[in-house]
Amino acid sequence: MKILIVLTYYRPHTSGLTIYAERLAKAYVRHGHQVTVLTSHYEKSLPYEENQDGVRILRVPVLFRLSKGVIMPTFGWKANRLVMEHDAIHLHLPQFDAAGVALRGRLLRKPTVITYHCDLRMPPGALSWAANQAVHLMNNLAALFTHRIITYTRDYGENSPFLRRYLHKLTVIQPPVELPTASEEAAKDFARLHNPQNNRPVIGMAARFATEKGVEVLLEAMPAVLKRYPNALVYFAGAYQGIIGEEEYLRRLSPIIKRYEEGGNWRFLGNLNPDQMSCFYQNIDVLVLPSLNSTESFGLVQIEAMINGKPVVASDLPGVRQPITMHQMGKIIPIGDSVALGEALLTILEQPALYIREAQPIRERYLPESVAIEYEKLFETLKNEMR
């Protein structure tokens, strides 16, 4: 089967959405499918066309940006040709250009599905508001044209203002999660590089440095943690500089973070490759996900932590609360509650054994191959319905 995947940003851009799309694309290839990714040429240094692990990537020129969105005048022409050439269409939302692709899929009778990753919230400002309205309109049109909409959990679908309108089209498929296993020596090398003391609790956060991630909630919880563990350390894994639309957020929190950096309680690790991420999880005691709104719908990093035997503290957001609810490996806190976060961290650090479960069943449930099979079944179901 020839599968066309369409999304605004693809790798090497780092987000839960792009990691999901990359893992699934590669799993499709391993299952014998021909896969093309249609995306934006958001970074000038990237090639317009390349092949990565059997996945053909086509990047469309960007004329200009609107907040976090991109305008690509030639996108429709390329999409029209590619939809005709492929057997199934897989769209990832939020995405401004999805409606036109979904319409083409329906008119040409190609099984077309949308994976809806999260609700969209733009930064403040008139231009962002206008861009937000445009994307909402196009997302709704895409939802009308598509044959099915996939969400990670029913919990998120029933609570999302967008997805609630389309529950009759909703299908739940777990997200793909995989990481290589870190060797004992690699994990020790990671510790020697980033935490030479190696005898103190380490709190991990793996995310882009973005407003919705709730970094300030962790910062506000730190005094309570440091009162009990003065040498506690935070590893922040992920991009934190030059993130489009988040420059002011970083400037606002930088003075507080700098104090913790100077005190040896905070370390930025930057973007880590999969092997490094495995070492990251092996070297933390607990992961935090203090997200603030519905732009976070699950948190793949929670599963990554759990399959490495590490508990999680996460916000009580629809979808985000599900990994802990399902696997009983951590604590759920009220949204934005730094006091509750501090208390939850101390509880887990003092009694970690209460929050550890067998990792292998969790790992198998989220394997990209398992997820790809569910999508393949869905595409076949849609083909049969069309007949």
Q: In this structure, what CATH number is given to the domain that contains residue 68?
A: 3.40.50.2000
266 and 121 within one domain:
no
199 and 323 within one domain:
yes
210 and 340 within one domain:
yes
CA-wise closest residue to 233 among 349, 341, 351, 332: 349
Q: Is residue 303 within 8 Å of residue 20, measured between CB atoms?
A: no
Q: How many domains does the chain contain in total?
A: 2
Residues 6+ apart with CB under 8 A from 318: 153, 155, 156, 158, 159, 160, 294, 297
123 and 256 within one domain:
no
Q: In this predicted structure, what is the pLDDT of residue 14?
A: 82
Domain that holds residue 309: 184-365
How many Cβ atoms from other residues are within 10 Å of residue 224's Cβ?
16
Express each pLDDT in 91-146 by its tens digit. Answer: 999 888 999 999 999 999 999 999 999 887 666 666 666 666 777 888 999 999 99
85 and 40 within one domain:
yes
> What does the alpha-carbon distance between residue 379 and residue 3 come to, in Å, rounded to a whole number?
10
214 and 292 within one domain:
yes
138 and 201 within one domain:
no
123 and 23 within one domain:
yes
290 and 213 within one domain:
yes
Q: In this predicted structure, what is the pLDDT of residue 216?
A: 97
Q: Is residue 79 within 8 Å of residue 101, measured between CB atoms?
A: yes
192 and 232 within one domain:
yes
Q: Is residue 155 within 8 Å of residue 318, measured between CB atoms?
A: yes
Express each pLDDT in 24-71 by its tens digit. Answer: 999 999 999 999 999 999 999 999 999 999 999 999 999 987 767 788
378 and 249 within one domain:
no
147 and 11 within one domain:
yes
